[in-house]
Chains A and B, each alone.
Chain A
Amino acid sequence: MSAVVGRGALPIVPARWMAIGEWRAHPARLIVGILAIAIGVALGFAVHLVNRTALASFDRAIASVNGAADLQVHSATPAGFAEGLYPRVAMVAGVASASPVVELAASTGKLAIPGTTATGSRLTLLGIDVLRAAKVTPSLIGMPVRSGSGIDSRRAAGFDSDAIFVSRAALQSMHRRSGSPSPG
């Protein structure tokens, strides 16, 4: 014959008995143990918070150096949004400066169509307001080949009607070098 018992619930009763028994026999030891666990958990959480804060600060510093915008507003369609939206965004409280960007898909040479071989490549064209971009996204302003690399000379180069600025990847895909004539 054996005891018939249920097995669903946790055996909380013996755990409680042992905790109370330990408390009765060694109250100071139990308090020190609980305090040690609490301090250990608090220290671990504090280290986690310090790490998270430091990483967030580092990310903000990197974004600032790279000239990345804090906030971007994108159009929901390829047609872009109405021009009237830009001044409204620029005047929103808390927005220090806003810089518009027009993004278009383009190509150079001939693209592949059935029965032919491609001789060109696809590009993404970015149109920016050079004066505004200098404050918000300076990394988008092109680097002139001949003049200095300061922001003023870069901004002035942006008004050069005889120049376009391309990324290093685009330059390589077109087999061009800095300062060479545009592909037309």
Chain B
Amino acid sequence: MHAPATSLAVLDIRGLAKAVPGGRRLFAGLDLAVAPGEIIAIMGESGIGKSTLLNLIAGLDVADAGHIAIAGRDLAGLDDDTRTLLRRDHVGFVFQAFHILPHLTLAQNIALPLVLAHGPAAESLARAETMLAKVGLGGRGHDYPAQLSGGELQRIAIARALVHRPALILADEPTGNLDPETAERILALLLAEARASGAAAVIVTHSDRAAAVADRVLVLGASGLVPR
């Protein structure tokens, strides 16, 4: 029996275990507590399970054992629909490959989390324009993703992850596809926006420069997360 989730933590992980098909154990007994507004960088070798850990936290994958609580709610006790609603309302996810919808305008892409939560279209698009300005792409709401560079697309992805003011931001190597200079700018933007909105962030990265700006840097290994 695990102890109840810490009420102050926006993310509380207890005794998490996950093995991949074939039986190889990625990690076991993994614990992590993230306070509101805290920035965590997670590093580790390729294939060690960093992306899997983020997917577990987001409820996109199911753990073999252990508990994950977001905003005080244990994912293990929730059905698929409720987990989706919890993720929609409390989590922003920045994917390495952006996952921007090509047929929607930039403003529509950013406003998507709001309208999926039944927000009014006009207000959602206005908020999307505000986010566009914050990520340095103001006035380009009617453009389409095909007109943007990789760095600009990642800025759209960050704006989309932040637009609904989530309590927790998960970023899976958000600068992995970018050149070092652009990567630094994107990361600074992500952290600045997270701090401005008071959101906690868990960032998976290989970059030492990216890790340097985090409040805590943890290394994922077979024994779990250890401070670097």
Contact = CB atoms under 8 A, between A and B. Distances in A.
Contact of B104 (A7, A9, A17): A17
Contacts of A24: 103
B97 to A, nearest CB: 19
A11 B104 contact: no
B4 interface: no
Interface in B34-86: 71, 85
Contact of A18 (B89, B104, B117, B197): B104
A2 B101 contact: no
Contacts of A1: 165, 167, 197-198
A3 B89 contact: yes
B114 A3 contact: yes
B118 interface: yes
B116 interface: yes
Given A1-B198, A17-B104, A25-B102, A8 B118 contact: yes
Given A17-B108, A18-B101, A2 B90 contact: yes
Given A1-B198, A2-B164, A2-B166, A7 B103 contact: no
Interface in A3-19: 3, 5-9, 11, 13-14, 17-18
Given A2-B89, A9-B118, A21 B164 contact: no
A7 B104 CA distance: 23
Interface string A94-118: 0000000000000000000000000
B138 interface: no
A14 B164 contact: no
Interface of B: 71, 85, 89-90, 101-105, 108, 112-119, 121, 124, 164-167, 197-198
Given A2-B90, A14-B116, 17 more contacts: A1-B198, A2-B165, A2-B167, A3-B164, A5-B114, A5-B118, A6-B118, A7-B117, A7-B118, A11-B116, A17-B104, A17-B115, A18-B103, A18-B104, A21-B103, A21-B104, A21-B108
Interface of A: 1-3, 5-9, 11, 13-14, 17-18, 21-22, 24-25
The 6 A-B residue pairs whose C-beta atoms are closest, nearest first, are A21-B103, A5-B117, A3-B164, A13-B115, A13-B121, A25-B103
21 contacts: A1-B165, A1-B167, A1-B197, A1-B198, A2-B71, A2-B90, A2-B167, A3-B114, A3-B117, A3-B119, A5-B89, A5-B114, A5-B117, A5-B118, A7-B117, A11-B117, A11-B118, A13-B121, A17-B115, A18-B104, A24-B103
